[in-house]
Amino acid sequence: MNNDILSSFRPALVMTLLFALLLGIAYPLAMTGIGQAIFPRQANGSVVREDGKIIGSTVVGQAFTSERYFRTRPSAAGQGYDGLASSGSNLGPTSQALGDRVQQAVAAMKAAEPGKPIPADLVTTSASGLDPDITPQAAYYQVDRIARVRNIDAHALKRLVARTIDRPLFGFIGEPRVNVFELNRRLDGIGAKPAR
């Protein structure tokens, strides 16, 4: 009887070990190797280097707090844009804390730019808390402030935003979006580079 039980478990044990090796080691190593060979920049986090130093990533949101820069969405990840604490606030639409936070952000923006409609993505967080993109409307909303602070023509800034818009894949997959990191790099390219 013991031999029957052992002989029954042997195939299950062998298959478990085989699939653990195949799917737990061989497949991930193969996919990592293919990713490094075909898409090395993306596989390594799409980091951007300047003078040999990493200055950011195009796929992770970053806090731009200076009035001289376009700002991205608010972040609920840790203390803000913390990749180790990636998550949303998990506050539902009936949450008083969420309502209060959004009302404060809206009030501050209305005080700074009276009469302008405020894009929702400038006062709400993304699901990951690390979203690097904003809508074109959110980028255009910020043009007047940046033009005023940097003493740049607003029409030139609108053209810069228009050139930075990423269109939907194949014209219908996704939404138009603006990568704030890339937009701010291009913004620095049209003037002197101040401290962030």
Identify the weakest region by mean pLDDT among 57-61, 110-114, 137-141, 183-187: 57-61
What one-character-per-residue DSSP string does 45-90 give? T-EEEETTEEEEESSS-----STTS-------STTTT-GGG-----
pTM across the whole model: 0.75
| Other Cβ atoms within 10 Å of 142 Cβ, number | 21
For residue 1, the model assigns a pLDDT of: 57
Residue in the structure block whose two tokens are 């910020």: 142
| SS3 (DSSP) at 52 | coil
Report residue 153: phi and psi, to 5°: -60, 130
Q: Report how far Cα 68 is from the mean position of its chain's Cα atoms.
A: 20
